[in-house]
Amino acid sequence: MTPILPPFPHSRLRRMRRTPALRDLAQENRLSVKDLIWPIFITDVAGADVEVPSMPGVFRHTLEGAVRAAEEAASLGIPAICLFPYTDPAVKTEACEEAWNPENITNRVIRAIKSAVPEIAIMTDIALDPYNANGHDGLVRGGEIINDETVDCLVKMAVAQADAGADILGPSDMMDGRIGAMRTALEASGHRNVTILSYAAKYASGFYGPFRDAVGATGALKGDKKTYQMNPANSDEAIRLVARDLAEGADMVMVKPGMPYLDICRRVKDQFGVPTYAYQVSGEYAMAMAAVQNGWLDHDQVMMESLMSFRRAGCDGVLTYFAPKAAKLLAGR
Ligand code: PBG
């Protein structure tokens, strides 16, 4: 629907761009600190609180460092943080038992943050890759990713995280049937108010490279994730996945990566009208930071423009490694 404009000179679209006040009045979308979810890396092995080489300004945190990050997030007004573990290779197995160990690094950090910073929402990642000897999100047998047995593992992982106090579970594994299985298990285990933010439309992307370095999965991963993550050429399939995950009990849905898939964000929001998030992933952050470090792009301008693009595409919020920097800028700090 194109609005009908009177012809020039009656219509001069530059009139509303003339001053900051007029531009404010004409602004269609706004970005708030309340739209941000901050992903952080956690670990209990040596190498904690060191910078991730391919993600300047992003650190792997110890348990204490993660609590400090949660405190910082809360003081900045960021509503949620999301935890990603870097696991000791010694505890990674083909059966991935560490994933549902109540004492694993994720569950210990959840409990520590819950008691220190109760006001912040804690989101987690549900997938086997941090605990899997072969780096895949699911169990591997005979060279194949086994769907249904993986779902059994993911359900145990979800209940363990809910027991520890997680507010938002983020299944990023792309197995079929996992949302319904988790929802059923959460209801049965007294966690009926735990929310699920499904990574519904997650693509097999080249933009996850720096993340796999950060969680130590790069060397471990054998092959690629194309039998479970989506083909970047597809769009209708994203709509089917979102419909399916909502029907199985997801409260919110995610599109991932973010910037190359803004068309998917818009389609999902228009079609379903549900809480919709994008993940501005590690490679998007790394790409911007590399150009900034070369003096080729302006950090603050590119950060804010990219975050605003998610709001314009219909997203209610965005997972971004820029979260604390954007929050400070929004607060004028
Ligand atoms: C794995 C997972 C990945 C990311 C979040 N969860 C990587 C992958 O699928 O290989 C990527 C996030 C990022 O790149 O920032 N379950």
> Is 253 part of a structural domain of the chain?
yes
What digits encode the pLDDT tens for the residues 273-317? Answer: 999 999 999 999 999 999 999 999 999 999 999 999 999 999 999
> Is 93 part of a structural domain of the chain?
yes
Is residue 191 pLDDT above 90, yes or no? yes
- Report the DSSP pairing between strands 80-86 and 60-61: unpaired
CA dist list (Å): 211 to 30, 130, 208, 257: 28, 11, 5, 12
Number of domains comprising the chain? 1
What whole-number distance in Å separates Cα of residue 73 and Cα of residue 100? Answer: 27
What CATH code is carried by the domain that includes residue 138?
3.20.20.70
Tokens of 133: 């000897």
Q: What is the pLDDT of residue 55?
A: 96
> Is 158 part of a structural domain of the chain?
yes
What digits encode the pLDDT tens for the residues 55-111? Answer: 999 999 999 999 999 999 999 999 999 999 999 999 999 999 999 999 999 999 999
- The predicted model gives 246-262 an average pLDDT of 98
> Is 228 part of a structural domain of the chain?
yes
Q: What is the pLDDT of residue 218?
A: 73
Residue 62: CB within 6 Å of ligand 1? Answer: no
Q: Which of 41, 81, 137, when mutated, tests ligand 1's pocket best, judged by the most ligand atoms within 8 Å of its CB? A: 137
Residue 245: CB within 6 Å of ligand 1? Answer: no
What digits encode the pLDDT tens for the residues 149-189? Answer: 999 999 999 999 999 999 999 999 999 999 999 999 999 99
Is residue 230 pLDDT above 70, yes or no? yes
Ligand 1 atom at minimal distance to the Cα of residue 208:
14
Tokens of 25: 């009045």
Structural domain harbouring 80:
31-330
> Is 3 part of a structural domain of the chain?
no
Residue 69: CB within 6 Å of ligand 1? Answer: no
Is residue 5 pLDDT above 80, yes or no? yes
Give start and end residues of each alpha helix (H) in 132-235. 147-164, 178-188, 209-214
Among residues 112, 21, 12, the alpha carbon closest in space to that of 61 is found at 112
222 is catalytic: no
Dist. CA 298 → ligand 1 center (Å):
26
> Is 1 part of a structural domain of the chain?
no
Which residue in 34, 92, 114, 202 is the catalytic one?
202
Q: Nearest C-alpha to atom 8 of ligand 1 is from which residue?
A: 208
> Is 19 part of a structural domain of the chain?
no
269 is catalytic: no
- Looking at residue 216, its amino acid is G
> Is 144 part of a structural domain of the chain?
yes
Predicted ipTM of the assembly: 0.97
Q: How much of the chain, in percent, has pLDDT values that exceed 90?
A: 91
Residue 58: CB within 6 Å of ligand 1? Answer: no
What whole-number distance in Å separates Cα of residue 317 and Cα of residue 107? Answer: 25
Q: Nearest C-alpha to atom 12 of ligand 1 is from which residue?
A: 281
Q: What is the pLDDT of residue 219?
A: 76
What digits encode the pLDDT tens for the residues 13-36? Answer: 999 999 999 999 999 999 999 999
